Chain A
Amino acid sequence: MNERPSHHDTSPLISVRDLHVSFKTDDGLVEAVRGLSFDLGRGETLGIVGESGSGKSVTNLALMGLIPRPPGRIDRGQALFHGEDLLRMSPTQLMGVRGRRIGMIFQDPMTALNPLMTVGQQLTEMTQKHLALSAAAADARAAEMLELVGISNPGQRLRDYPHQFSGGMRQRVMIAMALSCEPDVLIADEPTTALDVTIQAQILDLLRDLQARRGTSIILITHDLGVVAEICHRVLVMYAGRVVEQSGVNELFASPRHPYTLGLLRSLPRLDRDHSRRLEAIPGQPPDMTRIPTGCAFRPRCGVAIGRCESESPPLREIGPGRFSACWHDDAARVAPSSAAPADGSDGPGGSS
C-alpha cells in the first residue's frame, strides 16, 4: 500500500491507516468504516466512490474531525497529515487545519454558508483569521477569489447574501471559500450532485483548472462514476465500509477487477453505447449495515462467489502495479466471465427486511 502510482512527489500528503468508525444506533452498532487505508499524493485527485452506506462520507467526516460523538466513535486508525494525526487533534488544533490547510466543499452549499452574513464577510473572516490579513487586504483577496471561480462583478457580489446566489453560484462561492487560504488539500463531498448537468460541467472544469494552476490535492467523494472518469487520477471503490478496489482511473474503467466494480460499470446506462440491450443490474440490495454479511460483504450479490467468500473476508491485495482488489478470485477472467450478471430481482438476501 505504500507505492504511489503517481507522476508527482512521492511522499503522500495524507496517509490514512486502518481507520475504523462506528455509530451506535437504535438498530444496533453500525460499523460504518471497517479498516480503511489510503494515501493522497501531491497534486492528485483521488476519487472515493460508493453507494449509500459504503462509508465514503463518514471517512470524510472522520478526517475533518466532524464525526458527532456520541453516537459516533473513531475506534482505531490514524490519518497523518504533515506528520500529525488528524484523528487525535484537539478541537483548537483542528480549527487551525480545517479551512486553512484542508478546504471542504459539501453537496449542499446552503448548509456551509451562513445565511445571515454576506458572502464577503464570510470570505474575509477566513483569511483575516487564518492568514492574519488586514481588512483591506482580505477584501481584495475575497474579490480575487470570486473572480477566480468565475463569478462576474465580484466587488459587487461580495455584498450579497447567499440566498441572492443561484445553486451553481453558491457552489462556486463555497469553492472560493474553501480555496481562499490556499489549502494543500480540498475535500469535496458530492460537490456537483445537487447541480444540473450543464452547471456540473462548469464546476468540474473549474476544479480541474484550479488543480492545474495551484497543484491542490483533491479528495472527491461521489457516487457518480461519470464524474470520477472526468476528473480523478486514482479511485477507491468502497463497499460496506471497506475498499474493495483501488486503481488508477484508466485501468479501473478499462478492466475492473472486483466483481462489485464490474457490476457497477455494467449496470450503468451510457449515452455513448447501444441502448437496445437490457441493463445488467446488480441483484439484491446494498447491505443493512447493522447486519453486514460474514466474509465478503458483497457475497450475497456476487455472481462468482465461492465457499471461501462466506467464511473469510478477502483482504485488499496488490494485483498489479498500483492496483489492489479485495476478492478471492485472483484472475480477471474468473471475475468477469463474459457477461455473467445473474438475473435481477429484489429478493436477494441482504435486503433490509
Chain B
Amino acid sequence: MTPTPILEVRNLKVHFPFSRGGFFRPQRGVIRAVDDISFRIAEGETLSLVGESGCGKSTTARAIVGLVKPTSGDVLLQGTRVSGLSDREMRPHRRVVQMVFQDPFASLNPRMTIGSIIGEPLAIHALARGRDLKLEVLRLLNLVGLNPRFLNRYPHEFSGGQRQRIGIARALAVQPKLILCDEPVSALDVSIQAQIINLLMDLQQQLGLSYLFIAHDLAIVRQIATRVGVMYLGRIVELAPAAEIYARPVHPYTEALMSAVPIPDPVESAKRRRIVLQGEVPSPDREYPGCAFAERCPLVQDRCRRDRPELIRIGAADTTTLAAGTPTNVKADTSTGGAACWVRAPQRDESAK
C-alpha cells in the first residue's frame, strides 16, 4: 500500500449553470469548468496543472480549498474527505492546505501591516500569541528572504516580488503540508520570477512541502514540477512525470502546446518544428461526447468525436483504465499518469469500462 497522499481528487466535477439571452429567448445550460478529473499529490512533490485560459485549472484549485462547491466528486486531504464539509468542520483541515495567489497587489489587505498580514492566520488558528507570535512572524519573514525591519510597513511600499514573498510567508504561517500556487509568478517581472521560483523550491526542500502549481508558462513548470497534468476543456488529457511529458508528449494537445512555447534563442527557435493549431479552444458550455480536443486535433479520427477517451497508462504493458466513471470504477492509481487519446494511446474496447 502506498502512503496516503497529501491530496487526492476523485472524479471532481465543477459545473456552473448559466442562463443568458434575452427575456424572450432564454438559453440555459451548464459550463463544464471541471469535468471529471482525478489525481493525487504525494508528500514533497509538485504536481503542476497546465493549460490555456478556461481549461479549469484554477477552478480545480478553488474547489480543493472549498472556494467553489464541487458538483460531484471527492477531495481528500491526508485521506480525509473534506468536500462537502461545513466551514466549521473544514477549519482544522484548512491548516493543511494554503493558497498563494497570482496577483500580489490584490491579495494583500492594504490597511494591514506586513506583520499583521503574516500573523493573522497564527492568531485565527490560535497557534501563537503576543511575543511568540511576533517571533514567529520574524522567523517567517526571514524564511522568505524579507528583512525583519519590514514588519510595520504596508503592502503598497513593496514591489511585486516582495509582495509575493509576503503572500508566501502568510501561507506558511500555519505550517501547511500543501500549498496551492495559482499562477504565482505570472504577474511578476521576468527578472523577479526566477527569485520566486527558487524560493518556492528552497522552501519545499526545507519544509517537505507539496505543491499544486497552476501555471500557463510551460518553461516555468518544467523548472518546478515533479509531475504535470495537462488540462483541456475541464479534463485532464495527459498526466505524466515532468521529465517524461517534456521529452515525449503523447497527447496531440500536449505536443502542440509545447511546440507553441517560444524559445528565447533565435537559432533553436528556427530549428524547431512548430505545430500551429487551427482555431481556438471551444466553449465549455456544450457537452462533448467524444474527445474535447477533437475539433482542433490534427490526428482526429471518427471515433474521437463519438467516444470519450479515458486516461490510459502509457508505455507499461498494463493498460488499465485510469479514472473512469465513479469512484468504485477507479481501477488504477491515477498518479501513475497517462494520456487520453484514441490515436496515440489506443485503448481497450468499450467492454473494458
Contacts and interface: CB of A to CB of B under 8 A. Distances in A.
Interface of A: 51-52, 166-169, 196-202, 204-205, 223-230, 249-250, 253-254, 263-265, 267-272, 275, 278-283, 285-286, 301, 344-347, 351-353
A278 B268 CA distance: 22
Interface in B127-165: 145-147, 150, 153, 157-162, 165
A254 B267 contact: yes
Contacts of B218: 197, 271
B263 interface: yes
Contacts of B190: 51, 223-225, 264, 267-268
B159 A253 contact: no
Contacts of A201: 259-260, 262, 274, 276-277
Contact of B267 (A197, A202, A253): A253
Nearest to B147: A347
Nearest to A201: B260
B107 interface: no
B31 interface: no
Nearest to B225: A275
A107 B189 CA distance: 16
Nearest to B197: A279
B276 A202 contact: yes
Nearest to B199: A344
Residue from A200, A253, A346, A353 with most neighbouring chain B CB atoms (10 Å)? A346
Contacts of B146: 346-347
28 contacts: A51-B190, A52-B160, A52-B189, A196-B53, A196-B216, A198-B260, A199-B280, A200-B262, A201-B259, A201-B276, A204-B262, A224-B262, A226-B261, A228-B264, A229-B265, A230-B266, A253-B265, A253-B267, A265-B264, A270-B264, A270-B265, A271-B246, A271-B258, A281-B192, A344-B198, A346-B161, A347-B146, A351-B162
Residue from A196, A198, A202, A227 with most neighbouring chain B CB atoms (10 Å)? A198
A281 B52 contact: no
Contacts of B260: 197-198, 200-201
Contact of A353 (B158, B264, B265): B158
A278 B198 contact: yes
Contact of A270 (B193, B198, B263, B274): B263
A27 to B, nearest CB: 11
B270 to A, nearest CB: 9
Contacts of A344: 145, 194-195, 198-199
Contacts of A270: 219, 222, 263-265
B53 A353 contact: no
B330 interface: no
A275 B245 CA distance: 13
B261 A263 contact: no
A14 B157 CA distance: 39
B256 interface: yes
A346 B158 CA distance: 10
Interface of B: 52-53, 145-147, 150, 153, 157-162, 165, 189-195, 197-199, 201, 216, 218-220, 222-223, 242, 246, 256-269, 274, 276-277, 280-281
A51 B197 CA distance: 18
A344 B146 CA distance: 12
B263 A229 contact: yes
B145 A225 contact: no
A304 B111 CA distance: 39
Nearest to B258: A271
Contact of A250 (B145, B162, B267): B267
B267 A268 contact: no
Contacts of B222: 269-271, 275
B104 to A, nearest CB: 12
Nearest to B55: A196
Nearest to A352: B159
A264 B195 CA distance: 12
A269 B280 contact: no
A351 B159 contact: yes
Given A225-B264, A345-B145, A279 B280 contact: no
A196 B264 contact: no
A196 B189 CA distance: 18
Given A226-B264, A271-B258, 13 more contacts: A197-B52, A197-B257, A198-B256, A224-B262, A225-B190, A229-B265, A253-B265, A264-B190, A270-B263, A285-B159, A286-B189, A346-B145, A347-B147
A-B pairs with the 5 shortest C-beta distances?
A226-B262, A281-B194, A196-B52, A267-B194, A279-B194
B256 A352 contact: no
B77 to A, nearest CB: 29
A230 B260 CA distance: 11
A167 B218 CA distance: 21
A229 B264 CA distance: 5
B24 to A, nearest CB: 19
Nearest to A204: B262
A197 B266 contact: no
Contact of B277 (A198, A227, A278, A346): A198
Residue from B160, B262, B274 with most neighbouring chain A CB atoms (10 Å)? B262
B47 to A, nearest CB: 16
A283 B161 CA distance: 11
